[in-house]
Structure 1
Amino acid sequence: MSAQASTSTSAAMAADEQPTPQQLLFAKSIMLTFELWPAMRLAVSEEWGGSDSADKRDFLLSHLCDQYGNPGSAFEPDLDDLADILEHYMIDEYEARLEDGSPDWVAGRIVGLHRVIFAPGDDFARAQAAVAELEKAYQDLKGKKATFEQGANQDGEVDSHSEHEGSG
């Protein structure tokens, strides 16, 4: 009988180690946010961090999930700290100094998603809807190549669509 109790205790421990639906949704939301972030997409597709650029992105994703992937204010990311982490990671791992403010935007998106996904109460449907919007945006973007502009225009305007630079 003790062997059966031991087996059920082991099964219970293994079940406790499984990620919760909220943790899985949070991980998916970060993954989709990274896929929608032009700087990260470009850094990975152009291998700015070397041949393991995708692994570097995945490591950051895993780190953020481990650090912030739980409910409660103790796990909610600080906007400024997260933006700094993202900005410095892009510099350190991809040698990309971003001057477009995108780390702040991505950090804000992740903080907002954390609040929605780990909100107290039974509002998981709202969290799923928020991530579904990201999924739709990703599907709309899928297959499009990220482009970048080096430096700023003198008149201060940003040309985010460089379609006139044809591919030949």
Structure 2
Amino acid sequence: MTTPAPSGALPAGAQEGMLAGLRDIELPSAVPFWPPAPGWIALAGLAGLVLLILAIREWRFRQTVAYQALREFNAKARAAEPDDVQAVAAAASSVMRRLARVDEPAGDGSPAVRTGAAWVDFLCAGKAAFDAETAAFLAGAPYWPPGSAGSGPVEAPRLAAAVRRWIRARA
């Protein structure tokens, strides 16, 4: 005995005709490389802005007296023997005193006219301050007899790095 077809069902021939009319699913086309998504454009713009700000900052630093002082100190430090800490201290002292004279107005309290403990206190204060040992060495070493600072407590590379940091902080 055959079971009756449910109500609303199509005959078998009609179902096959409808299935033959169906098409396959179409896949989307590949994502193009160009133009990039808005997020990538914003990221590239942000990176460009950061590079522009860094370039302007470097350009402005190169226009300062501190940059000229740094160049002069580097030239003098390169001209000195690698382990001649006294020559580095003498070069640093002359450059730093002239830079302090530019930064501060002339007068009795000017850092350029300070000597001894007052100069050491000035070097130990402010941005990129020296430690007390290095500042005391820097205050006295340029005035010692040649060759007497060879066994000092400060190495030439450490002193040069501290001086460069101090000069850059004045920019």
Q: Say whether the fold is shared (TM-score over 0.5).
A: no
Q: Which has the larger radius of gyration?
A: 2
